[in-house]
Structure 1
Amino acid sequence: MRTTLEIPEKLMEEAMKVTGAKTKSQLIRDALQQQIDHEKRKRLISHKGTINLNINLDTLRDRE
């Protein structure tokens, strides 16, 4: 998908330098994927302690 974005050139240059991205497209794809992964981790962490799995080793062995 083609998209036009207005991104400060210094920001783009610094991001490419520190990440080692070869192209602007690669940089944007990687940044979007990292943001998605970050948000998924935040959601997962927000559930910490709220889900009762009630799993023990014997139960897991019986499933096989």
Structure 2
Amino acid sequence: MKTTIDIPENELKEAIKHTGAKTKRDAVVYALIDFNKRRRMAKLTRILGTFQDFMDQNDLKIMREDERWEKRCAKGC
């Protein structure tokens, strides 16, 4: 989608420098992707504390061991 916008030159130059983009368009696209990603992560961070039964590393380890056991039994215990 083509859009005409007025971007402060110093901000655009800094974005190009930080992203290593070769074009202004690439710098703007990268900045939009990064912005959206940070917003999604912030949203997830806000809801993380609301889960009652959120899995920790120990629970994940037990689940993986159970899956391996089930696969072995399926092949013949």
Q: Percent identity?
A: 34
Structure 1 equivalent of residue 21 of structure 2:
21
- How many pairs does the alignment contain? 61
For 2:8 and 2:28, locate their aligned partners in 1 and report how far apart those are by CA, in whole Å: 13
| 2:3 is equivalent to residue 3 of structure 1 | yes
**Larger-Rg structure:** 2
> Where does structure 1 differ by over 3 angstroms across 4 or more consecutive aligned residues?
none
Higher share in helix: 2
Q: What are structure 1's unaligned runs of at least 5 residues?
A: none
TM-score, length-normalised on structure 2?
0.66
TM-score, length-normalised on structure 1?
0.77
Q: What are structure 2's unaligned runs of at least 5 residues?
A: 71-77
